[in-house]
Amino acid sequence: MAAKLPKPDELAAGIDFRPPKTGWMDTPVELKEGMFCWGAKEKNLKAVSFPNARDWSPKEKDWKLPENWQRIVLEGMADRLQKYRSFKLFMDICVRCGACADKCHFFIGSGDPKNMPVLRAELMRSIYRREFTKAGRIMGSIAGARELTLDVLKEWWYYFYQCTECRRCSVFCPYGIDTAEITMMGRELTNLLGLNIDWIAGPVANCYMKGNHLGLEPHTITSSVEFFLDDIETLTGIRIKPTFNRKGAEILFVTPSGDLFADPGTYTAMGYLMLFHELGLDYTWSTYASEGGNFGFFTSNEMAKRLNSKIYAEAKRLGVKWIIGGECGHMWRVLTQYMDTWNGPADFLEVPKSPITGTVFDNSKSTKMVHIAEFTADIIKHGKLKLDPARNDHLVVTYHDSCNTSRGMGLLEEPRHIIKSVCNNFHEMPDNTIREYTFCCGSGTGLNASENTELRMKGGYPRANAVKYVRDKHGVNMLANICAIDRATLTASMDYWVPGVKVTGVHELVGNALVMKGEKERTTDMRAEPLPGKEGNE
């Protein structure tokens, strides 16, 4: 146990635990255990030629910064202010009205004022004012300006890695200021100094070299899928034969690698396999473009672009017509908001058209990539599947909108349409916690490490609190979502805050309800839990 037990005299009733009343600029940053991730390792930064690679520890006083670190940061800032109009605008136009202040899950859960979006941004704006505006240069702190010191840098690092870039705050800002983008710039700048976190740098290096975050090689991927096929055969009596790296397939399927190895995502992957088999889809998996996620996005635009391009290179090599992407969150933010500028338009592919329903996905005209929730919702809407929702009757389901699919791309109705078609018991969480107002899982943007569990639990509290409400009110026992990070991190959050609620991908629910041609009578769901009415005869 890390926490030290207090001595009796420490407990005397008269102790004053009230915090000192100082302004935020005069409250120096204190890096607290459980709130930050380990520093990026030299080898992982070197693998992708990131600058200033070295082993370093945030806990040490000396971060082994390059001599001229201030210059690097300020030049990096100048460069980005010129390149990204939004960044310049967001630095200039905030009127500090405070509408965003209490909307961040990290502020709500931690109570740390520097987690108010307006203050998080102010950490950087204060430097911007001092270095890039006349008023700030002359008037200093009166104009809200300050100097870029080592303490400021540490403060940046601490708080820009306490923001999940979820954009909830931006929904409430009358000017549309997106603090997530300020965090992105903050992370790019720390990245120039080799100050990334290893939980991000490791997966980036792996993905760059091996094609997925875990660094798994092709035979590991195929044999993991084989395992699923065994399980599906046990469940349904049907042996599915998917293909890998097949040239000339109509569709390339790319999903987060977590679906292949991490519970409960694995059951979602089984759902994909069953659905595609049942539809007779002409598709292939790739063991090279084997990662839907993009942790590069949490380091810099440039790195995100490099990793994203691998999916398209593989699509080209295999000669497919278009791409379906699995249940992932940030993959879709990358795709709908950035891919086209970086690597698009993907003119060598065709505009996605469902071979089952004939629906043309015009929204993906340029990127040629469709989210599986859009694909499946369309199939169900056209009545192309035989479904038995009663097979999910042991589940009382609610749905968590991932920040990226809801606020980042407006994918709100499709997953709900699917869930309501395959489950009989569905209850929404309260309105101010879903759809575009959704609360982050608390662990996005590569913050789903182990050493920062306290941070993650605090950030996950507003979401968990709403789940708890529907658990108590409606008996909800299953939290559905369409994001691989959610599947992993909400599981931890539920275990801590709302025991008894499990987490599932939407396609696991589809797999349960899907009546497949020639299947034997099912007695359990995919998790080997007996189906309602089939208890005791498994």
Partner 1 sequence: MGSLNLDMGLRDILSEKKPAILKRWFDAIVDTYPANTAEFLKSQQDRFANPVGHAISQGIEEIFDELMAGVDPERVSPFLDNILRVRAVQDFKPAEAVSFIFLLKKAIREEMKNLNGQTLGELPELESGIDELALCAFNVYMKCREDLYTVKANELRNMTSRLLERANIIRPTGGLEPETKEAVIKVKRKEVTE
The answer to whether the beta carbons of residues 144 and 93 sit under 8 Å apart is no
Each as own residue / partner, the long-range contacts of residues 351-355 (CB below 8 Å, 24 or more positions apart, any chain) are 351/322, 352/321, 352/322, 352/323, 353/322, 354/378, 354/379, 355/250, 355/281, 355/282
Residue 15 within binding range of ligand SF4, rule CB under 6 A: no
Select 43 or 527, whichever has its Cβ closest to partner 1: 527
Specify the DSSP class assigned to residue 492: H
Among the listed ranges 144-152, 172-180, 305-313, 487-495, the one in contact with ligand SF4 (CB under 6 A) is 172-180
Residue 520 within binding range of partner 1, rule CB under 8 A: no
Strand partners, 251: 283, 322
112 binds, among ligand SF4, partner 1, none (CB under 5 to 8 A by kind): partner 1
Residue 1 within binding range of partner 1, rule CB under 8 A: yes
Least CB distance from residue 471 to ligand SF4, whole Å?
Answer: 24
Among the listed ranges 97-105, 223-231, 408-416, 509-517, the one in contact with ligand SF4 (CB under 6 A) is 97-105
Residue 96 within binding range of ligand SF4, rule CB under 6 A: yes
How far is 407 from 232, CA to CA, in rounded Å?
Answer: 34
15 binds, among ligand SF4, partner 1, none (CB under 5 to 8 A by kind): partner 1
> To 5 degrees, how large is the angle CA 40–CA 42–CA 46?
110
Among 428, 495, 522, 523, binds partner 1 (CB under 8 A): 495
The closest of 375, 218, 245, 258 to 315, measured between CA atoms, is 245
Interacting positions 242-271 with partner 1 (CB under 8 A): 258, 260-264, 266
Task: Write out the H or E segment, with its range, that includes residue 343.
Answer: helix 340-343
315 half-sphere exposure, CB direction, 13 A CA radius: 23
Select 165 or 374, whichever has its Cβ closest to ligand SF4: 165
Least CB distance from residue 19 to ligand SF4, whole Å?
Answer: 21
The closest of 364, 448, 532, 497 to 164, measured between CA atoms, is 448
Residue 536 within binding range of partner 1, rule CB under 8 A: no
Residue 395 within binding range of ligand SF4, rule CB under 6 A: no
6 binds, among ligand SF4, partner 1, none (CB under 5 to 8 A by kind): partner 1
How far is 261 from 515, CA to CA, in rounded Å?
Answer: 26
Residue 219 within binding range of partner 1, rule CB under 8 A: no
Crossing angle for the helix pair 150-160 and 117-132, nearest 10 degrees?
140
Among the listed ranges 86-94, 352-360, 471-479, 525-533, the one in contact with partner 1 (CB under 8 A) is 525-533
Among the listed ranges 51-59, 116-124, 265-273, 487-495, the one in contact with ligand SF4 (CB under 6 A) is 116-124
Select 120 or 471, whichever has its Cβ closest to ligand SF4: 120
Per-residue burial over 186-215, b if 16 or more Cβ lie within 10 Å, else e, is bbbbbbbbbbbbbbbbbbbbbbbebbbbbb
Among 161, 184, 461, 481, binds partner 1 (CB under 8 A): 461
334 half-sphere exposure, CB direction, 13 A CA radius: 27
Q: Under rule CB under 6 A, how many of the chain's residues touch ligand SF4?
A: 26
> Is it true that the peptide bond before 345 is cis, omega within 30 degrees of 0?
yes
Strand partners, 397: 426, 478
Q: How far is CA 120 from the centre of its chain?
A: 20
518 binds, among ligand SF4, partner 1, none (CB under 5 to 8 A by kind): none
Q: Which residue has the tokens 């420490």?
A: 10
Residue 186 within binding range of ligand SF4, rule CB under 6 A: no
Among the listed ranges 166-174, 232-240, 345-353, 446-454, the one in contact with ligand SF4 (CB under 6 A) is 166-174
Least CB distance from residue 526 to ligand SF4, whole Å?
Answer: 33
CA distances, 373 to each of 320, 381, 451 (Å): 20, 12, 33
Which residues bind to ligand SF4, rule: CB under 6 A?
94-100, 103-104, 106, 117-118, 120, 163-169, 173, 175, 177, 179-180, 183
Which residues bind to partner 1, rule: CB under 8 A?
1, 3-6, 10-11, 13, 15, 17-19, 21, 32, 34-35, 101-102, 107-113, 116, 214, 220, 223-224, 227, 230, 233-234, 258, 260-264, 266, 430, 432-433, 450, 453-454, 457-458, 461-462, 465-466, 469, 488, 491-492, 495-497, 527-529
